[in-house]
Amino acid sequence: MPEGDTIFRTAHTLHRALTGQRVTQFETVLPHLARVEIDSPITGRTIDNVEARGKWLLIHLSGDLALLTHMLMSGSWHIYRPGERWQRGRIHMRIVLHTERILAIAFNVQVAEFHTATSLERRAGLTTLGPSLLAPQFDAAKAVARLRSRPELEIGSALMTQSLLAGVGNVFKSEICFAANVHPFRLVQSLTDAELAALVATARKFLQANVADLADASTVTYRGFRRTTDRLALDARLWVYDRAGQPCRHCATPIDSYRQGPGARTTYWCPRCQSAQSITTAAR
């Protein structure tokens, strides 16, 4: 599933390419979106702006209408010049916004809805988002308080709970816990305020670092190599994620892994570098 940095990059790229342009044609294979085009045409509207909210992406159109999408595990947005060859087959197309200069295409996007400002305020999953790590006015104290409000959660799961903190996915979860020297299976209630503050600060640092080169953003949803270390080698860009059995980059202890949370996503950690007090028995 794309993480917060990917969605932020996507919104930035789409905003730069589409803002101020008029929709000359709207295509979709999704019946509920096609119905809106018939009843209240998208064609002819102007694209006002594009924004990211956690893992949600919003394309705001003139006339109080917004296209809300979530990429889930396999979705992506691409932009092309008219006549340019698509990198994905048309069978994967779900939405196309045509303008005179750009085609914005959503491939395999499973959640796509049109909303007014009023209906957006009621959209479950969007209105309950926690502080977004890439928001300009990010409130770290509020983020810590949100995490503290769920003392029964393991911190690895808490970091991925979007109603507590918006933007962290499975890769960053493990990387954040390692960099903050916190075992991912510790319960939130076992963590000190200083540890929670360090986790939040690390999360924001990692996500910001992975959108720092937006001046060079490509015309395709970012699927590049996420980096949390300062090492140049491609195979050394992450501390622990997807490195089970390999030596820790700090102490050479083999990296451990275990499935965690409702989605049973694999979590990685160093048994020596990361404190293991107050963890659940599920983590051994």
Cα gap 76→216, rounded to integer Å:
18
Question: Cα 154 from chain centroid?
Answer: 20
Q: Are 143 and 131 in contact (CB under 8 A)?
A: yes
Q: Which residues are catalytic?
A: 2-3, 55, 265
Q: Phi first, then psi: what are they for 117, rounded to 5°? A: -60, -35
Cα gap 171→158, rounded to integer Å:
14
Residue 239 neighbours by CB under 8 Å, 6+ apart? 174, 175, 178, 179, 228, 229, 249
